[in-house]
Amino acid sequence: MNITVDYSWLGNHGVGRVANEVLRRCPENWKIIPIRKYKNNAAVLAPLSLSRNITCSHSNLFWSPGFIPPAFPVQFPVVVTIHDLTQLYYYKIYHKIYYDYIIKRLLKNVNYIITVSAYTKNEIVKWSGISEKKIIGIHNGVGKEFNLAVAPFSLGKPYILYAGNRRNYKNVLGLIRAFAHSKLFTLGYMLALTGNPDKDCLRVSTEEGVVEHVHYLGFVEENDLPSVYRGAHAVAFVSYYEGFGLPILEAMASGVPVITSNTSAMPEVAGDAALIVNPHDIDAISSGLEKITTDHKLRSELISRGLSRAGMFSWDKTAEKYWNVFEELL
């Protein structure tokens, strides 16, 4: 059986991680036909490009790892994965218009929508009006490379880690402010951010007087990420909104306590294994950062619960559920 896949979504990001983990577990009776390599995955005309490329493939099924469906109905089943609805809330107004007037209509032609959390499934049902029977929730997993045996990365000082991009809904500036309002930098802690310095982070950390206590890790290769997690004293992931939240599980599997948000899908992923705070409350984040680093009893409990929680998620389980959906359609 042949499955055509939109490879424009494969890359060093959350959507790419899910796609790669599913595709590398492709059953022997399936053949992957990649299309749209190196294309702009979410370009305005991407649905038309998809339709043109799909008609040239000899396939039994099409899967888009991102939210873009083909512009026209095709002769075989179509599955689209939607990881979140951030475009409706945190992007430019034309992104919302595009989602509301183009994507929503095209999604009615797909056979199944896969999404990554119960929270996002409910959001999609309310937004699209599509029957929940056509929307399948499949949690993301966590890789075996995140474990206690990994050699920890060192900054020479204990550090709180944020791993991810800096889109506005990630609340990185709020995290910097909360770190500055805590006593942690006076105790020798660093706030470590993946990626390079940017003007907003530099501005806020300078205004708050902690510019020398915020460290930028630069681009972190996939192979180095487990070590960076393992070396952290705690992981902070206090976004305003997430469709899932892979760093929560990656930290837990690495034996590192997590502070995360009480909004969207993050409590669903974290369960009772993380310190949950209001991401809109700087004082709450600041207090949480202090607790998760200095309260040894709490740290021990969160590490133990986190390891158990992370053990409930795996890419093997995730991929198996994806391929079962594909098999069912045929």
Same domain (yes/no): 133, 233: no
Distance CA(225)–CA(300), nearest Å, equals: 23
From the number of C-beta atoms within 10 Å of its C-beta (0-12, 13-18, 19+), residue 98 rates as middle
CATH code of the domain in which 109 resides? 3.40.50.2000
Same domain (yes/no): 172, 112: no
- 304 in a domain, yes or no? yes
Same domain (yes/no): 306, 166: yes
- 146 in a domain, yes or no? no
Residue 57 pLDDT: 67
Same domain (yes/no): 270, 325: no
Distance CA(283)–CA(301), nearest Å, equals: 23
- 148 in a domain, yes or no? no
Same domain (yes/no): 177, 63: no
Give me the number of domains the chain comprises. 2
The residue segments making up the domain with residue 46 are 2-141+314-329
Same domain (yes/no): 27, 125: yes
Give residue-wise pLDDT tens across range 8-44: 999 888 899 999 999 999 999 999 999 888 888 878 8
Residue 56 pLDDT: 67
Give residue-wise pLDDT tens across range 106-144: 999 999 999 999 999 999 999 999 999 999 999 999 999
Distance CA(82)–CA(113), nearest Å, equals: 7
- 228 in a domain, yes or no? yes
Same domain (yes/no): 321, 269: no
Distance CA(192)–CA(200), nearest Å, equals: 15
Residues facing residue 161 across a β-bridge: 192, 235
Q: What are the C-alpha distances in Å from 166 to residues 53, 97, 194, 291?
A: 33, 23, 9, 25
The list of the chain residues with pLDDT below 70 reads: 56-57
- 154 in a domain, yes or no? no
Same domain (yes/no): 114, 182: no
Token pair 């095709």 is at which residue?
74
Distance CA(28)–CA(323), nearest Å, equals: 11
Continuous segment of H or E residues that includes residue 46: helix 46-55
Same domain (yes/no): 33, 56: yes
- Written as six digits, the tokens of 176 are 């910097």
**What single string gives the DSSP state of each residue in 176-222?**
HHHHHHSSTGGGT-EEEESB---HHHHHHHHHTT-GGGEEE-BSPPG
Same domain (yes/no): 222, 97: no
Residue 202 pLDDT: 97
Same domain (yes/no): 101, 163: no
Give this prediction's pTM. Answer: 0.93
- 111 in a domain, yes or no? yes
Same domain (yes/no): 123, 193: no
